[in-house]
Amino acid sequence: MNSKKDIPASYIDKSNSKDGKSNNSLPSHEPAVMATISLHMLRVGSQHGVDIDDILQDLALSKEQLVKPGERIPLSIHLKIQSQVVSKSLLPEIGLEIGRLMPSGILNIVGYIMMTSASLGEAYKNLENYWELLGGMGDFKFIAKNVSGNMHAEISVGDFHPISKEWIECITSYCITVGRKLTGKDFFPLKVHCSYSEPGYEECYRQLFGDCVLFDQKHNKIVLSAEDADLPIIHPDPVLLNLLKLQAELERKQMSTLKELTRSVKNLILQGSKEGRTDVEDIAKKMCMSKRSLQRLLGLEGTSFSMILKQVRMERAILMLQQQDLNITQIAFQLGYSERSAFDRAFKKWTGLAPRSFRNQVISGSIAESVRLCWPECSNVAVMDNIKVG
């Protein structure tokens, strides 16, 4: 008999929970934040008097949940983590510190897109383009402006959630410090506008931004010179950038359609692939429903079994092509293709590269580590590599 653990949470009555703990599963209507961001906040807070274990226990979370590759948590839970870190920290400028110590890798694929961009301005524009992947974190805009004949770039951090000051501090601090790391240049903004009053640690602002900070402004924004916006990134990689953007577009599409049933089907396909049982009938049986019902419910979530299977195959293909002991024909058969040529066509359609070309680029150099990190589903250690502070 099939266990209820195979059925999406939304199909199970949880009204009589025995343990009394809060349910941190993701409601379909609530934005989900990258767990690495929440974990980074906790780790920085722990350096300044915050007891991580107390917060996790209070929210019925575990460290294991936060380090799972590709994990997301509901925005409401993330905000509670942020609120407790801010209130319990011994450091008044904790928001600035969280941003200052945030590596690009904490933002997962969005961070790696920034790292492989051509210029600082392009990196900021890519952050804007894929900002929604961070998960319900307000607005972010990068705009090039011509003011009185002088070009400058404006980063606008818009309206945020209730504990906005610390998050605005975090993003403002992150934008400048990560820009310096990506370019190797110690540039300073022309202006920094903050919508809140002076917080009492103005010297910290001066150290980060110089003498250009104005408080009690209408909007939150950073103004850069055109020269600084054009600074080249130290390690641009146009080929990898295109691959990363491809995956980011897939993730963006998933965020608008991926519900609990879809997630469960994807997980069951991954489990079944080890047994060679990934057809829709097998998965429907494990879900305790008919094939027709499964297809109908997936349709209501804006997807289909074939679309989910295709996504799983792509992720497994990317992982397996990095294992040099597997030849490409073996990989094609293990993924369920009857012919190598069919796999070649499918993979090229997904990534723009033939499997052999993709493997050669992985073997040849820097793309290897970056590809491993940009598809967290393809590695059990990806997120662990990314959560180091500093």
User: Is residue 309 domain-shared with residue 218, that is, in the same domain?
Assistant: no
Q: Is there a domain that residue 344 lies in?
A: yes
Q: Is there a domain that residue 17 lies in?
A: no
User: Is residue 215 domain-shared with residue 280, that is, in the same domain?
Assistant: no
Query: Per-residue pLDDT for 5 more than 50?
Result: no
Counting runs of H as helices and runs of E as strands, what totals does the chain give?
20, 7
How high is the pLDDT of residue 337? 85
- How would you label 246-265 residue by residue, b for 16+ Cβ within 10 Å and e otherwise? ebbeebeebeeebbbbbbbb
Instruction: Indicate the number of domains in the chain.
Output: 3
User: Is residue 71 domain-shared with residue 157, that is, in the same domain?
Assistant: no
Say how far residue 276 (Cα) sits from the centre of its chain: 30
For residue 62, give its domain range: 4-12+23-91
What is the percent of the chain where pLDDT is above 90? 36
How high is the pLDDT of residue 22? 41
Question: H or E stretch including 141?
Answer: strand 140-147
Q: Is there a domain that residue 98 lies in?
A: no
Query: Per-residue pLDDT for 242 more than 60?
Result: yes
Q: Scanning the structure block, which residue is given the tokens 């997301």?
A: 72
How high is the pLDDT of residue 385? 32
- Structure-model confidence comparison of residues 343 and 252, the more confident one: 343
User: Is residue 84 domain-shared with residue 115, that is, in the same domain?
Assistant: no
How high is the pLDDT of residue 224? 92
How many C-beta neighbours within 10 Å does residue 275 have? 8
Confidence of residue 62 (pLDDT cuts 50, 70, 90): confident
How many C-beta neighbours within 10 Å does residue 52 have? 18
Q: Is there a domain that residue 346 lies in?
A: yes
Q: Is there a domain that residue 97 lies in?
A: no
Give 93-105 pLDDT, tens digit per residue.
Answer: 999 999 999 988 8
Alpha-carbon distances, residue 388 vs 37, 68, 241, 315, 370 (angstroms): 11, 15, 23, 25, 16
User: Is residue 110 domain-shared with residue 72, that is, in the same domain?
Assistant: no
Rg (CA), the chain: 23
How high is the pLDDT of residue 240? 92
Query: Per-residue pLDDT for 54 more than 70?
Result: yes
User: Is residue 312 domain-shared with residue 343, that is, in the same domain?
Assistant: yes
User: Is residue 242 domain-shared with residue 337, that is, in the same domain?
Assistant: yes
How high is the pLDDT of residue 302? 64
User: Is residue 215 domain-shared with residue 249, that is, in the same domain?
Assistant: no
Q: Is there a domain that residue 154 lies in?
A: yes
User: Is residue 243 domain-shared with residue 188, that is, in the same domain?
Assistant: no
Domain boundary among 69, 91, 113: 91
How high is the pLDDT of residue 149? 60
Query: What's the whole-number mean pLDDT along residues 321-330?
Result: 84
> Which is nearest to 283 in space by CA: 301, 311, 261?
261
- Kindly report the average pLDDT of the chain as a whole number: 80
User: Is residue 133 domain-shared with residue 257, that is, in the same domain?
Assistant: no
